Amino acid sequence: MEKRFWALAFGLGAAGGIASGIAESGGVITYAPLYLSSPDLFFYLTVAVLAPFVEEILKPIGLYLIKIEERPTLTPRDWMLLGILAGFGFKLLEDLLYALTTASASGGSWGLILSALRGPFPLHMLATGITGFGMGLWDLTGRARYFLMLLFAAMLLHGLFNLAVSIPW
């Protein structure tokens, strides 16, 4: 596999973080009135449905471009590795943005603490790796349903993870 594919997957995975932040903000606005009647439901819909839906579509944008523009001969394993790289790029940018936001809001080092706590969870790499594997099966068989099924599985995994870490157990 060409190393430029690695850079494209990683870089556009990170750029997907910026795009998803913008898209999620727009999505939240559409159901913002719900916040007035049920702030908890608003929060859980955002973290368990909206964020996974938007992020899992945007993180593999580099993979889409590679598939459409380059048409390389890659195995499903190669596509999965590109997905993991895209997820890693996304995770690094998201962690940085969370750290900066938290640090500026708290006026201290809480952002670094938050980044350290988020570090051990490879959710974005795992989910986008699953999506990448689905893209590889699509590329191999010509059946887009494999990609769509595994994209949905990644969204479901992401949503369940977000819900699990958001519920005050």
Residue 119: per-residue pLDDT: 63
All structural domains of the chain with their residue ranges: 3-166
d(CA 82, CA 60): 9
Select from 115, 121, 120 the least CA-distant residue to 160.
121
Q: First CA to last CA across the chain, in angstroms?
A: 44
Render pLDDT for 118-137 as a digit per residue (tens, 0 to 9): 666 799 999 999 999 999 99
Handedness of CA 124, 54, 164, 115 (dihedral sign): positive
Residue 32: per-residue pLDDT: 75
Residue 141: per-residue pLDDT: 96
Render pLDDT for 27-47 as a digit per residue (tens, 0 to 9): 777 777 887 888 888 889 999
How does residue 114 score in pLDDT terms, banded at 50, 70 and 90? low
d(CA 17, CA 138): 25
Residue 19 has pLDDT above 70, yes or no: yes
d(CA 158, CA 47): 9
Based on the number of CB atoms within 10 Å of its own CB, is 40 exposed (0-12), middle (13-18) or buried (19 or more)?
Answer: exposed
d(CA 124, CA 88): 7
Residue 54 has pLDDT above 70, yes or no: yes
